[in-house]
Structure 1
Amino acid sequence: MAKRLGSRLFFLLAVVFIFSGLVLAAKPEFSAEMIQTDAKGKVTTGKIYVQGPEKIRHEFSDGDTVSVTILRLDKKVSWTLLPDQQYMEVSFQFDPNQLNPELEYEMKTLGSETVNGYDCQIIQYTYKERKYGILVQWFSEELGFAVKTQTKDAKGKVTSTVEYRNIVEGKQPDELFEIPNGYTKFSIIPKLPLPF
Structure 2
Amino acid sequence: MKCPNLSLKNIRRRCFLLGSLGLALGVLYPPVVQALPDKSPVVSQDSNSEFSARLIWRIGKRSSKALLFVKGDRYRIEHLGGIKTDLGYATVTIVRLDEQKVWYILSQRRLVVSVPLTPDDVLPMSIKLEGEVARTRIGDALVGEQPATLYEVEVQRNDHRETYYEWVDESRQLLLKLVSQEREWSVEYKRVTQSKQPDYFFEPPLGYKIFETTEIQAEEG
TM over 0.5: yes
Cα 1:142–1:91 shift into 2, 3 Å: same
Return the match for 1:109 from 113, 128, 135: 135
Task: Give the drift of 1:180.
Answer: 1.3
Cα 1:136–1:14 shift into 2, 3 Å: same
Q: Which has the higher contact order (CA 8 A, sep 6+)?
A: 2
Cα 1:184–1:164 shift into 2, 3 Å: same
Return the match for 1:179 from 195, 200, 204: 204
Partner-residue secondary structure (3-state), 2:35: helix
Contact 1:110 1:122 in 2 (8 A): yes
Q: Quick check: which one's helix share is greater?
A: 1
Where does 1:106-185 land on structure 2 (aligned, <5 Å)? Answer: 106-111=132-137, 112-114=139-141, 115=143, 116-120=145-149, 122=151, 124-128=153-157, 135-152=164-181, 156-157=182-183, 159-185=184-210
In 2, the alpha carbon distance for the partners of 1:75 and 1:144 equals 26
In 2, the alpha carbon distance for the partners of 1:162 and 1:16 equals 12
| C-alpha distance after superposition, 1:76-105 (max 9, x if no partner) | 333222352222231569xx9xxxxxx962
| C-alpha distance after superposition, 1:95-134 (max 9, x if no partner) | x9xxxxxx96233223243434243352525351578965
Cα 1:170–1:87 shift into 2, 3 Å: same
Task: Give the drift of 1:39.
Answer: 1.1
Task: Give the drift of 1:147.
Answer: 0.7
Q: Answer yes or no: is 1:38 the counterpart of 2:59.
A: yes
Report the RMSD for the aligned CA atoms in angstroms: 3.8
Contact 1:33 1:166 in 2 (8 A): yes
Task: Give the drift of 1:32.
Answer: 1.2
Q: Answer yes or no: is 1:59 the counterpart of 2:78.
A: yes
| 2:69 alignment counterpart | 49
Contact 1:139 1:148 in 2 (8 A): yes
In 2, the alpha carbon distance for the partners of 1:63 and 1:90 equals 20
Identity of aligned residues (%): 24
In 1, the alpha carbon distance for the partners of 2:93 and 2:163 equals 23
Task: Give the drift of 1:172.
Answer: 1.3
Q: Give the TM-score taking structure 1 as reference length.
A: 0.64
Cα 1:104–1:162 shift into 2, 3 Å: closer
Aligned residues: 169
In 1, the alpha carbon distance for the partners of 2:163 and 2:93 equals 23
| 1:77 alignment counterpart | 101
| 2:12 alignment counterpart | 2
Contact 2:113 2:213 in 1 (8 A): no
Contact 2:55 2:190 in 1 (8 A): yes
| Unaligned residue ranges in structure 2 (runs of 5+) | 1-10, 16-31, 84-88, 123-128, 215-221
Task: Give the drift of 1:142.
Answer: 3.5
In 1, the alpha carbon distance for the partners of 2:37 and 2:106 equals 19
Cα 1:68–1:143 shift into 2, 3 Å: farther
* Alignment-mate amino acid for residue 50 of structure 2: E
